[in-house]
């Protein structure tokens, strides 16, 4: 099967100009990007004649320049003002859509909260768009946040304005939401930075679940230290799920108990699930004794006695797909999201083992399936194999882009190397996303479909990167290894309308 090299990929899949090969672009203001460019040494990946992939040169440049955008500097000492501006700037750099003008080039002037924006001064720097984000104290525990966007070519009036009062502790997440709204004003499609990563990673003796903001900030372990936890995923309400085993016991599907951190309530249990929970009570007691303390997570009620290796909820929240251990292998079963009896679930996979289920927004279901001796595992979509039959495939995910839904997955290419590939959901137009830069695995698409996150060892150590599907550039998000990556939008913000004033010109 012939796969087109990356330089031909992006213009065909997405409505953008032709870009050169995959690159690592240094953010214009940050030193993280400068260090990254200096650290990275592309690893040599063996050529695979069966995939017929041609070599390409990593240039680090695009064939057309990125539009320049200016973000007004912060001149106050208010912590929240500095945080808000830093978050928005970092988000815009990670988006890969703009070249952010360096702070040192900002013209002299008044950059206080209420000061007008000197549009002409920034236009002389070549700015095609101007962003002002600021925060000031509104009370002891609240701040007022401001977001403005200008197009100098249109005139001195803002094309977008938002002003709202929030709790200080919500400064970072609100800054991400402002970035998303600003991107919507600038491009016509909102961003996806009000979101979070979840993934698993070995920590001490056990595999644990971690969360992090979309810009790599705030990496924190969620699951218990003494448990083996794998395959995390999030519901649309922000509730976290994962599979957990204690002392080699079967893997249970676990959920955070009660309200999640964004305030969304966990679904109420049906009478059947309450009975099932009562049946699980002895196991819960043993779990508490093993952990030595109460845990913030508890089993999700499912009627299967064997291990649950992974799971996923459909976008409409009505269906759950689970990978269940059976007969020395595993199968994918679908059933009602609220749980139910064993008869309410049906087996949808046909191979000896199947795992890693994931839904598209339209309800398509993908998973990894295999089992026949000497036959590589493949990616399935709605029961049909779609990945190449010649290579072991893993970690399928759907990308919901402005140009439609695409399937992204990893293929094993020998010597422990993996690369990422993208195709239509039926497997057509298979194309390569990474090559010649270490091993790249566990892809996850941003909620807006512009970015693809993945773990890679291209710099010598595993880290999390994002690839712009519009520009073809990659940037490191955080120096943290992991696997089983998921990227999910945060639930909608709860903002008092009396505190909010938003205007779009």
Mean pLDDT of 397-407: 95
User: Has domain 6-192 been given CATH number 1.10.1660.10?
Assistant: no
pLDDT at 41: 33
Query: Own/partner pairs for 380-387, CB < 8 Å, 24+ apart?
Result: 380/349, 380/351, 380/354, 381/407, 381/425, 381/426, 381/427, 383/348, 383/349, 383/350, 384/426, 385/427, 386/423, 386/425, 386/426, 386/427, 387/411, 387/421, 387/423, 387/427
What are the strands, taking DSSP E only, across 261-403? 297-299, 308-313, 319-326, 329-336, 346-347, 353-359, 365-370, 378-381, 384-385, 393-401
CB 418 within 8 A of CB 410: yes
Q: In this predicted model, what pLDDT tens digit does every residue of 119-170 receive, in sequence order?
A: 999 999 999 999 999 999 999 999 999 999 999 999 999 999 999 999 999 9
Residue linked to tokens 């990227």: 487
Rounded average pLDDT over 465-483: 92
- In this structure, are residues 239 and 268 in contact, taking their beta carbons and an 8 Å threshold? no
Helix (H, G, I), strand (E, B) or coil at 330: strand
Per-state percent for the chain, helix, strand, coil, to nearest 5 = 20, 35, 45
pLDDT of 330 strictly over 90? yes
* Contacts (Cβ under 8 Å, ≥6 apart) of 179: 87, 88, 91, 92, 191, 193, 194
Asked whether the domain spanning 195-489 has the same topology as the one spanning 6-192, the reply is no
DSSP code for 106: P
Residue percentage of the chain with pLDDT more than 70 = 77
Query: From the CB of residue 475, how many other CB atoms can be counted at a distance below 10 Å?
Result: 23
Side-chain-facing half-sphere of 293: CA atoms under 13 Å: 7
Phi, psi (deg, nearest 5) at residue 465: -125, 160
- Per-residue pLDDT of 223-272, as tens digits, reads 888 899 999 999 988 899 999 998 888 999 999 764 333 334 444 544 44
Instruction: Give CATH superfamily name and number for 195-489.
Output: TolB, C-terminal domain (2.120.10.30)
CA Rg value for the chain? 24
Q: Provide the residue ranges of all domains of the chain, joining segments of one domain with +.
A: 6-192, 195-489
State the helix-helix crossing angle for 171-187 and 79-95, rounded to 10 degrees.
Answer: 40
Q: How confident is the model at residue 418 (pLDDT cuts 50, 70, 90)?
A: very high
What mean pLDDT value characterizes the chain? 82
Higher-confidence position of 503 and 297: 297
What mean pLDDT do residues 68-97 have? 93
| pLDDT score recorded for residue 340 | 82
Are 413 and 48 in contact by the 8 Å Cβ rule? The answer is yes
Tell me how crowded residue 115 is: count the other CB atoms within 10 A of its CB: 13
Work out the angle at residue 22's Cα, subtended by the Cα atoms of residues 183 and 439, and round it to the nearest 5 degrees.
115
Spell out a b/e string for 304-324, using b for 16 or more CB atoms within 10 Å of the CB, else e.
beebbbbbbbbbeeebbbbbb
365 in Cβ contact with 348 (< 8 Å)? yes
What is the C-alpha to C-alpha distance for residues 241 and 37, in angstroms, rounded to an integer? 36
Whole-angstrom Cα distance, residue 470 to residue 13?
A: 9
pLDDT tens-digit profile of 336-354?
998 888 999 999 999 999 9
Average pLDDT, integer, range 354-369: 97
How buried is 409 (Cβ within 10 angstroms: 0-12 exposed, 13-18 middle, 19+ buried)? buried
pTM of model > 0.75: yes
Question: Of 188, 187, 230, 184, nearest to 207 (Cα)?
Answer: 230
- What per-residue confidence (pLDDT) applies to 26? 35
């Amino acid at each position: 099967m012939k796969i087109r090299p990356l330089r031909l990929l992006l213009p065909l899949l997405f409505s953008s100009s032709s870009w050169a090969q995959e690159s690592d672009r240094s953010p214009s203001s940050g030193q993280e990007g400068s260090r990254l460019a200096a650290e990275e040494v592309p690893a040599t990946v063996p050529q695979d004649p069966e995939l017929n992939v041609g070599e390409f040169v990593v240039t680090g440049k695009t064939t057309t320049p990125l539009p320049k955008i200016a973000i007004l500097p912060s001149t106050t000492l208010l912590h929240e003002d500095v945080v808000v501006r830093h978050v928005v700037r970092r988000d815009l750099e990670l988006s890969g859509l703009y070249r952010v003008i360096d702070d040192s080039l900002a013209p002299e002037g008044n950059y206080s909260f209420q000061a007008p924006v000197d549009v002409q001064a920034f236009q002389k720097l070549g700015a095609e768009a101007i962003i002002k984000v600021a925060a000031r104290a509104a009370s002891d525990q609240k701040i007022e946040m401001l977001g403005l966007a200008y197009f100098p070519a249109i005139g001195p009036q803002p094309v977008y304005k938002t002003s709202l009062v929030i709790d200080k502790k919500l400064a970072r997440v609100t800054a991400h939401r402002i970035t998303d709204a600003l991107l919507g004003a600038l491009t016509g499609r909102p961003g996806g930075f009000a979101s979070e990563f979840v993934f698993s990673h070995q920590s001490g003796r056990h595999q644990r679940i971690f969360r992090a903001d979309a810009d790599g900030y705030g990496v924190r372990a969620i699951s218990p230290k003494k448990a083996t936890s794998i395959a995390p995923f999030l519901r649309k309400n922000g509730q976290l799920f994962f599979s957990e085993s204690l002392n080699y016991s079967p893997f249970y599907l676990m959920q955070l108990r009660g309200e999640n951190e964004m305030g969304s309530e966990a679904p109420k249990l049906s009478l059947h699930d309450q009975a099932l929970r009562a049946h699980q009570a002895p196991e819960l007691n043993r779990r508490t004794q093993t952990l030595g303390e109460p845990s913030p997570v508890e089993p999700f009620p499912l009627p299967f006695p064997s291990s649950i290796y992974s799971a996923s909820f459909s976008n409409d929240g009505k269906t759950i797909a689970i990978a269940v251990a059976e007969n020395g292998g595993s199968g994918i079963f679908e059933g009602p999201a609220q749980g139910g009896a064993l008869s309410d679930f049906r087996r949808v996979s046909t191979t000896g083992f199947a795992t890693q289920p994931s839904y598209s927004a339209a309800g398509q279901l993908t998973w990894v399936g295999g089992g026949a001796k000497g036959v590589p595992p493949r990616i399935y979509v709605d029961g049909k194999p779609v990945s190449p039959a010649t290579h072991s495939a893993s970690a399928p995910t759907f990308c919901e882009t402005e140009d439609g839904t695409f399937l992204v997955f990893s293929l094993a290419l020998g010597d422990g190397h993996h690369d990422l590939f993208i195709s239509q959901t039926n497997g057509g137009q298979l194309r390569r996303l990474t090559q010649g830069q270490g091993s790249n695995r566990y892809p996850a698409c941003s909620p807006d479909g512009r970015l693809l996150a993945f773990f890679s060892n291209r710099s010598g150590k595993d880290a999390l990167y994002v690839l712009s599907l519009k520009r073809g550039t990659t940037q490191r998000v955080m120096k943290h290894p992991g696997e089983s990556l998921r990227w999910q939008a945060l639930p909608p913000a709860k903002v008092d309308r009396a505190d909010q004033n938003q205007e779009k010109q």
